[in-house]
Structure 1
Amino acid sequence: MNTNLWQYNIQAPILPMPILHRESLIHLLAEHIKGPDTKKATSTKFILLCAPAGYGKTTLLVDTILQHQIICSWFFFEETNTPAIFLKGLLTSVQKNFPQLVPSFAAVLALEDVEINEHPDGELYWKSILDLMVTKLNGEISQHFVLAMCNYHKLQPHEALHRLLNHLLEHPFQRGVLVLESRSMKLFLSLSNSLRPSAIDCLRQQILQNGSFMPNNKVPL
């Protein structure tokens, strides 16, 4: 049975009110996720946004996206995620912003979750779905966009999903930026050595050194 559990993983976050706008960090982040021109490929392909719980990582990302009107697709990892939830969630989140891709993703999204999770080709099949998404985004989308993947620290028990994310990192978007948000760098250290956060060497140091991010000024996620 297809329960569409992935729909809960792709909802865009709502900013808390009141909110402390961290303009210096917003400017820093926007420099690397905002495309200079919608027709040009972005030089930054991957950003790791890492800080302890409650330091406002997601709030910073949402605030930046809204202030600069950046197209953004969201996915939030959960401990209960399966390959089907992850893959169908990603495709659905992407096609919400780019409806012209709906026909390309329809066959996968029509499958029952069990057909994906227990596919005889397993991980090779799952990677082919990611390849389809990247190929369509690179070949048919001219706008600059962000794919924000949050709660990466919750991926700890899922080795297969971890390898799928690694595969995605090895096949970057031409006009998009992948932003990975996490409370810990532990899992990231085992990702592909061929990719490191470009231009922003994580925001961890800036977050911890900026007064508005110190514990007495924390903003709940």
Structure 2
Amino acid sequence: MKNLEKTILFIGNSYTYMNDLPKVLSQLAGERGYNLTVDSVTKGGATLEDFLEERNPLSEVVNLKFKENKWDYIVLQEQSQIPAIEKEREEKMYPSVRMLNNKAKQIAAKTVLFMTWGRRYGDTENGFENFESTQEALKIGYTKIAQEIDSMVSPVGLAWKRALQKDDTINLWDEDNSHPNEDGTYLAACVFYGILLNENPIGLEYTFDIPYERALFLQEVAMETVNEFC
């Protein structure tokens, strides 16, 4: 019998809180009878390192959150550029992921890495000329540390890549070409739905006010990505 009660804590920044990704995921899951307890500790521009620094208020909040609930999953989302840059991820991201993963193990929670997406026109200041090259570097950055600590990965950025390959007219970015618009957040939520619940999102009626045909397309892209990645 399936366990319909799940608890999920998101740790990250504006890529997580823009359009309230945790709430969208909860709405999707509720349609199939799941009762998700979701919470988050986020701040715009935050790095995972910020959640561990003793003098940073974010670390105090994280410590309290870890104690206040029996979490099934701890979702870690790094600042959007760091995972793509080898030196940055080795010196900043990976030590932070290891420490947060150890904290998760102490409360019997599973770590899930939130593989984000590249910026719409790349990250030229760091040597990435387009979305595709950025996304490939992000994939490497997240999967390498996931293999080391044996954690789950939610391949949201790969779903964005697949969506654009299937329909180059679709737009998943907000006006700043970095953050997600509603379609981007919905696609991310569908990927998390497939990864965390091991369920197929195709056919869900909750569309986050996105036209149904486009929502169905995003559901299909999410499931294809999850099946291929896992």
Which structure ranks higher in relative contact order (CA pairs < 8 Å, sequence separation ≥ 6)?
1
Do they fold alike, i.e. is TM over 0.5?
no
TM range (shorter): 0.3 to 0.5
What TM-score do you get using the length of structure 2 for normalisation? 0.36
- Structure in which a larger fraction of residues adopt helix: 2
